[in-house]
Amino acid sequence: MAKRGKRYQELIKLVDKTKLYEPEEALNLSKETAKAKFDETIELHLKLGVDSRHADQQVRGAVVLPHGTGKTVRTLVFAKGDKAKEAEDSGSDFVGAEELVQKIQSENWFDYDVIIATPDMMGVIGRLGRVLGPKGLMPNPKAGTVTMDIAKAVQEAKAGKIEYRLDKTNIIHCPIGKASFESAQLKENFETLVSAVIKAKPAAAKGTYIRSCTVAASMGPGIKVNSSKLS
């Protein structure tokens, strides 16, 4: 295991590793441990009692955080005709069709955070699956990024819509704001995301659904949250 630096060693002293904190207390503590020279992201990590290897136990969706993530989101829309104009009018940073596929392929271009597409463009974008998939950028109907309502999708993305999905270890990792956020803002974002994950519980899930919950600043230690009241 890599040795932690002095700064981290000091921060970890602020956290009682044997304690399960109530959400508000944990979020306040995560703000206290955000001592880096930049505005650290506050992250939420949820370990679920499901098995992501089974199709009927997948947990995936998207939710708009009430106070956003604190990050400026750059959108890329694949659309043509009226839908391309709708994307431009909605303030999308980039709009195009086949020419942008070529740009991504030839220039390894990734100056955007979210890709939105109309359904008719998915055949074209499919060629980028191996490139976009590993980066979590492939548009998906479940996340609301494959849609005919381009204006709404762009507005939600810029307002702080995030996608949540299980990793191979059955954990969901998501940003819920910045250390500079007010505690009440972080708490509302936390509750909104947790509520969305609970609503997405698969029918095939058995036993305890939320096994553990942890919050942490980007460069800070994990803070365990009492998950017994969450689900």
Chain mean pLDDT for the chain? 93
Rg (CA), the chain: 19
Prediction pTM value:
0.84
What would the pLDDT profile of 104-163 be if each residue is shown by its tens digit? 999 999 999 999 999 999 999 999 999 999 888 999 998 899 999 999 999 999 998 999
In this structure, how many other beta carbons lie within 10 angstroms of the beta carbon of residue 110?
Answer: 12
221-225 contact pairs (CB < 8 A, 24+): 221/8, 221/11, 221/12, 221/14, 221/15, 221/33, 222/15, 222/45, 223/15, 223/21, 223/26, 223/29, 223/30, 223/33, 224/17, 224/19, 224/20, 224/21, 224/26, 225/20, 225/21, 225/22, 225/23, 225/26
Q: Residue 2 pLDDT more than 60?
A: no
**pLDDT digit string (tens) for 29-45?**
999 999 999 999 999 99
Asked whether the predicted pLDDT for residue 1 surpasses 90, the reply is no
